[in-house]
Amino acid sequence: MRVAVTRLGGLVQRRGFASTSRRLDNYAFIGLGQMGYQMAKNLQSKLKPSDKVAIFDVNPTALESLSAEMKAASSGAAVDIAASAHDASKEADTVITCLPEPQHVRGVYDSILTSSLPKKDRLFIDCSTIDPTTSRQVAQTVTDAGQGTFVDAPMSGGVVGATAGTLTFMLGAESSILPRVEPTLFLMGKKVLHCGGQGAGLSAKLANNYLLALNNIATAEAMNLGIRCGLDPKVLANVLNVSTGRCWPSEINNPVKGVLENAPASRDYRGGFGISLMRKDLRLALVAAEAAQAKTELGTVGFGMYDKAAEREDCKNRDFSVVYRYMGGKEE
């Protein structure tokens, strides 16, 4: 796969397109949650029949279901169900992990990097959203074990993007290894944004989601203010979206029912990016900020709102825009 490079300020954006460059033959994919399941499926479907993908997850139902889907496909790499993350990694040249929390990433890599793992110059791509400090610690354990290179590649695009293969990856890796990393990421996504050395991808992802979390709260408060002052919600949204208050929550994911028919707010906040996930990402951003000695006064207040809303019965398991409901936003 060849890569087209565009420079946006100091950021390098790459788009992949097909060519005949070499790809590694043996892959392992560990972590088959909502995102990982679809990513692994895309990876397997776009590899050659001579390639192999070993898959593992602690949820046997997800593991069996994905294996059945992959084997039913008429093309793609051979599939092997592994008994553990360690077994999945034994023959792999490239190991991809997509896990929920920092402790899961540490635990999985501790289980992989044992003395019984055959020595190999592996590429470990972690697509989990965790804190940069933990990521760097895991990277060091890979280096110390002499088992290859660890990079961070958190992604944006949600389950829809994972299913469609249109994810954007924020990559933290040394420039010298990009030709080895990018072809694999382009099998699962559409863009790769190289953000700097190892850990930089996570720093970029958490900074973005920190801003998104706070913009969402501000949009909810501004919409409620205008509505309670007598403004029609759609009129107010139109004003915001052609003015300086415009942001993703106001334009794409407005928190008020009826403003955008396809937004979660118009479906009782069902679907979308779960509030518990935003709580997690904001918590990780605060952890990263503390490590970097960066002030985050608004973030601490915002986390308190997401933390409480995620546990309230009429808000839990809903899109993060449900903070509008949590803070008493007018819904009728």
The residues assigned a catalytic role are 205
What is the spatial distance between Cα 277 and Cα 3, in angstroms, rounded to a whole number?
Answer: 32
The span from the CA of 80 to the CA of 83, in Å, is: 10
Buried b or exposed e, range 79-108, using 16+ CB within 10 angstroms = bbbbeebbbbbbbbbbbbbbbbbbebbbeb
Report strand pairing: 94-97 vs 26-30.
parallel
Contact 234, 258 (CB under 8 A): yes
Q: Residues with Cβ < 8 Å from 32, sequence gap 6 or more?
A: 40, 55, 56, 57, 59, 62, 63, 66, 98
Quote the tokens at residue 169: 């990856």
Amino acid present at 166: T
What letter would DSSP give residue 56?
A: E
DSSP assignment string, 305-329 = HHHHHTTSTTTTTSBGGGHHHHTT-
Question: Contact, 104 vs 135, CB < 8 A?
Answer: no
Residue 13: beta bridge partners? 6, 193
Structure tokens at 259: 């403003």
CA distance linking residue 101 with residue 320, whole number of Å: 19
